[in-house]
Amino acid sequence: MPLNIYLLIEDKTTGETIGYSYYRNFNALQGYFDRKFDLKNGDEVLLSFQAISTIYDILKTVDYTSERAEELLPTHADPDFGSYEYDERYFSFISQATSDFHHAKYIDFNKYNLYFTSNW
């Protein structure tokens, strides 16, 4: 089964949750969260402003200095989690996630929660 990663935004007042971002087989991002939070299939992680800023800084650095990809956001080995190459697809994911996490820094955290979750 493929790796599906979601960033979900939740309205604190209504409890309504909608998709903010989606990545399929972006194993490096999964690996980051696995190392930080020891995730199990379907776990959700509430992201603080600080966590979002930290991830954004890592993504931005990798996006601008690709030779640091293996050091800062290495691929995460699993037979169903996609490619382990630092190729065009990897850097496409990096570019998309950099933009997504940049914009996430401007969420009104008094009104909304942002979660990371994945399933495989």
Domain definitions of the chain by residue range: 4-119
Cα 35 from Cα 110, distance rounded (Å): 28
Q: Could you identify the residue written with the tokens 């996430």? A: 104
Q: pLDDT of 3-52, one tens digit each? A: 999 999 999 999 999 999 999 999 999 999 999 999 999 999 999 999 99
Q: State residue 52's pLDDT score.
A: 98
Q: State residue 78's pLDDT score.
A: 67
Cα 35 from Cα 120, distance rounded (Å): 17
Contacts 24+ apart (CB under 8 A), 60-67: 60/98, 60/102, 62/94, 63/91, 63/94, 63/95, 63/98, 66/91
pLDDT range class, residue 1, cuts 50, 70, 90: confident
Q: State residue 83's pLDDT score.
A: 78
Q: Select the more confidently predicted residue: 78 or 111.
A: 111
Q: pLDDT of 59-104, one tens digit each? A: 999 999 999 999 999 998 766 677 788 999 999 999 999 999 999 9
